[in-house]
Amino acid sequence: MSQNRQIRDVVFVDGVRTPFGRASELGIYASTRADDLVVKCIRELMRRNPQLPAERIDEVAIAATTQTGDQGLTIGRTAALLAGLPKSVPGFAIDRMCAGAMTAVTTTASGIGFGAYDVVIAGGVEHMGHHPMGSGADPNPRFMSERIVDPAALNMGNTAENLHDRFPAITKDRTDAYAVASQAKFAAASANGAIQPDLVPVATMKPGAGWTVNTVDEPPRPGTTLEDLAVLRTPFRAHGRVSAGNAAGLNDGATVALLASADAAEELGLPVKMRLVQYAFAGVEPEVMGIGPVPATEKALRLAGLTIGDIGLFEINEAFAVQVLSFLDHFGIADNDPRVNRYGGAIAVGHPLASSGVRLMNQLARQFEEDPSVRYGITTMCIGLGMGATVIWENPHWIPSRPGSAASSTTTEGSAA
């Protein structure tokens, strides 16, 4: 075994996603297969990067939370074949619930850092219209009989209500205000053309309605007001605080990203949108799973030799507003801090479970390009059954001499993977 192996730098080359749809019989993807959504993304990724020979792809990792039906059968391999990649390109499926795509990225990135891969495709898909969360699952009865987890932990809405109980300063008024801001920020980003460049048009067919080319997200509700949210019911608890207005919806969609070693990107002439600095996953009590990003971020920062003050941009998955606010409160960040979710988040655009991690990365990469004053950013999310995930990225466009640059005094470099 070589004693001279070094960890290689890993870069985020490109990422795309389908428009996100509502998971219902009336949703845009009601008659569309989950694997076809992934195929559309892979084909678009290859079209956007013609300098990449398909045979140079070393792995395709695709995540899905419910791995059955049209998002089962080792979907990383089947999607690669359906997308027309060479049969020599292997693939696999992965599941870490909401952090599926994020785990697909970190797992394959580790392979790049180790030297097993040069170029990979990683992403996720969730068709919650075809496969509702937990559909077909058979939890071991020991979870209840031995009280391994609180029964409330098996319902994500209940875990959000539990967070409200734990942090009474996070009121429904605060979560509703955060949700209204998320809708407004996403609408502004869309109007400014910040969202559309990463979207793959998807043609869908509905019986009796014919074909439609979908080019925008279905879930957003621009113009949402506090008055709109105040009258929504709280389905998880009578007189509760979690509603459909301050939580992500049930959605369908797919995402994929292209990752490479820095050397391979240079060799092939691939763009570099971000450099991977460090990542971490952490477990928490399942009944308050939304707090997961806090220990995951603390761990990732520690491993990278950074502090929360070094982070100039935050892309936090908005499964529930209370979950985001618990993170912000822990780190002393204001609800309306301009570093946080500049383009809005899942409360507006949706959260198709295993696919959302790459959406966060796409948005962070575009913000890096827009703002060279920022050196480091993070993508972070909570995960069902009590976990959190955080990935720290470095901005390749960072200009150290720019006034007000984030983390300009930081000299410690994180590892590549």
Residue 2 has pLDDT above 70, yes or no: no
The three-state (H, E, C) secondary structure of the chain, written as one string: CCCCCCCCCEEEEEEEECCCEECCCCCCCCCCCHHHHHHHHHHHHHHHCCCCCHHHCCEEEEECCCCCHHHCCCHHHHHHHHCCCCCCCCEEEECCHHHHHHHHHHHHHHHHHHCCCCEEEEEEEEECCCCCCCCCCCCCCHHHHCCCCCHHHHCHHHHHHHHHHHCCCCCHHHHHHHHHHHHHHHHHHHHCCCCHHHECCEEEEECCCEEEEECCCCCCCCCCCHHHHHCCCCCCCCCCCCCCCCECCCEEEEEEEEEEEHHHHHHHCCCCCEEEEEEEEEECCHHHHHHCHHHHHHHHHHHHCCCHHHEEEEEECCCEHHHHHHHHHHCCCCCCCCCECCCCCHHHHCCCHHHHHHHHHHHHHHHHHHCCCCCEEEEEEEECCCEEEEEEEECCCCCCCCCCCCCCCCCCCCCCC
Per-residue pLDDT band at 237 (split at 50, 70, 90): very high
**416 pLDDT higher than 50:** no
Can you say how many angstroms the Cα of residue 394 is from the centroid of all Cα atoms in its chain? 17
The pLDDT tens digits of the residues spanning 63-107 come to 999 999 999 999 999 999 999 999 999 999 999 999 999 999 999
* Token pair in block for residue 397: 């466009």
Model confidence at 405, pLDDT cuts 50, 70, 90, reads very low
Catalytic, out of 127, 130, 164, 382: 382
Choosing from 41, 98, 130, 131, the catalytic residue is: 98
Confidence of residue 3 (pLDDT cuts 50, 70, 90): low
The whole model's pTM is what? 0.94
98 is catalytic: yes
The mean pLDDT value of the chain amounts to 93
Question: Tens of pLDDT along 360-380?
Answer: 999 999 999 999 999 999 999
Under 8 Å between Cβ of 346 and 356: yes
219-230 mean pLDDT:
97
Q: Which of 201-210, 330-339, 373-382 is predicted least confidently?
A: 201-210
The yes-or-no verdict on residue 149 having pLDDT over 70 is yes
Q: What is the pLDDT of residue 98?
A: 96
Q: Is 351 a catalytic residue?
A: yes
Of the pLDDT bands very low, low, confident and very high (cuts 50, 70, 90), residue 143 is confident
**pLDDT higher than 50, residue 413:** no
Q: Among residues of the chain, what percentage have pLDDT more than 90?
A: 87
Interatomic CA distance for residues 70 and 49, integer angstroms = 27
- All structural domains of the chain, each given as residue ranges with its CATH number in brackets, are 10-131+249-394 (3.40.47.10)
Report the percent of the chain where pLDDT is more than 70: 95
- Please, what is the angle between helix 321-330 and helix 156-166, to 10°? 40
Range in 342-346, 371-375, 407-411 with the lowest mean pLDDT: 407-411
